[in-house]
Copies of this chain bind each other. A is one copy, B any other.
Amino acid sequence: MVKIGVDIFGGDYAPESTLEGAILAAQELPDDAKIVCIGDREVIEKYARSKHFDVSKWEIVHTTESIDMGDNPSKAYQQKSDASIPLGFKLLKSGKIHGFASAGNTGAMMVGAMMVIKAIPGIIRPAIATFIPTTSETPILLLDVGLNPDAKPDVLVQYGIMGSLYMEHVFNIKQPRVALLNIGSEEEKGNLLTKATYPLMRDCKCINFVGNVEGHDFFSNEKADVMVCDGFVGNIILKSSEVIYDLVKSRDIHDEFFEKFNYENFGGTPILGINGVAVIGHGISSGKAIKNMILQTYHVIHANLVEKLTEAFKEYTVA
C-alpha cells in the first residue's frame, strides 16, 4: 500500500482546500494508494461527514498544531515539533508514509527535507522543479527554480541527471533531452556559469544532452524535455509564468494552451535529490490544486524515483 501524507493545515485556504483536495484525490487514486491526513481529527471527520465521504478511506494522524505562513521556518520547526509539517517528515523518515505533500510554510518544508530526510549521497544540492507548459501534451521540466540561486557547474550537471530521471520515470519519456538554459545556441555563448557547465554536460554519459536552449524555446518541446538553470533564473521564470496566467484570467481570455499555465494542474513542486518524496504546494492552493499535488506525489512514489536517483548517484561522480 502506497501511503501519501497530506498536511491538512497547509495552505491559505486550509483546511477546506486540503480536505476538499484529499476527497477529490481519494476518488482518483488507484486502489493501492491511501491518503494519510495529518491534522485535527475532529475537523477532518466533521468535514468528511458533511461531504458524505467515508472517512475510513483515509488514515488520520492527529495533531492540532501547525506552522503558520508567517512563522520563522527553522525556529518554528524546532519549537513546534508536533506541528503537521515536522510530523509529516517524521512519518516519512520512519517509512510510515511513502511521500509527504504540503502547501504550507515552504521554508519549513525545506527544513524538513534538508535536515530530516537529507540529500541522497552524491547529490551536492537538491533542487525544486517546475513544469513549463508546452503546446503539446508533455511539459518541460525546469530546474532549479529557487533552492540554489548560486549554483556551480557540477551542481547544474546533477540537475540535468535528476531532471532526466524524473522525466524518464514519472513521464515515461525514453532518453529525455536535457538542455542548458542559455542566451545563445552555440557552445561558447553564455555567462561564466553556463560556459563552464556546457562541456561538463556534454561529457556526462548519464544524460542525453542536446546543448543550449534560449528563452524563446520555452512553451514548446521541440528541443528539450528538461531545461537546467540556476535557482535565480528559474525562480524569475516561474513567477513570471504565474503572472502571465493571472493576466490571461483577468483579461477573460479562454484558451486551452494558456489554461495549462494554471499551477492548479500540477499542484506542486517536487523536491528532487532527497532521500524521500516531498512535494511543495502553492500557498494559495485550491482544492483542485491540492488534489493534483496528491496525485503527483503518488506518481513520484510509484515511479520509485528516489531509488532510481540513489542508484544513479552511486555510480556518478562529476568528471
Task: Enumerate chain A interface residues (CB-CB to B < 8 A).
Answer: 135, 146, 149-150, 181, 183, 190-192, 194, 214-220, 230-233, 235-244, 246-247, 251, 253, 255, 257-258
Contacts and interface: CB of A to CB of B under 8 A. Distances in A.
B218 A240 contact: yes
Contacts of A146: 183
Given A216-B246, A244-B244, 7 more contacts: A149-B183, A183-B231, A183-B236, A214-B239, A219-B247, A251-B257, A253-B255
Nearest to A149: B191
Contacts of A219: 243-244, 247
Contacts of A233: 232-233, 236
Contacts of A251: 255, 257-258
Contacts of A244: 219, 244
Nearest to A240: B215
Contacts of A218: 240, 243
B232 A183 contact: yes
Contact of A230 (B191, B194, B217): B191
Nearest to A243: B216
11 contacts: A146-B183, A183-B235, A191-B231, A214-B239, A215-B235, A215-B240, A215-B242, A217-B243, A219-B244, A247-B258, A253-B253
Nearest to A233: B233
Contact of A237 (B150, B232, B236, B258): B236
Contact of A214 (B135, B220, B236): B236
Given A243-B215, A251-B257, A192 B150 contact: yes
A239 B253 contact: no
A180 to B, nearest CB: 12
Contacts of A230: 191
Nearest to A146: B183
A190 B236 CA distance: 11
A157 to B, nearest CB: 18
A140 to B, nearest CB: 12
A71 to B, nearest CB: 15
Nearest to A241: B215
Contact of A191 (B135, B150, B220, B238): B150
A271 B313 CA distance: 46
Given A233-B232, A233-B233, A240-B240, A149 B190 contact: yes
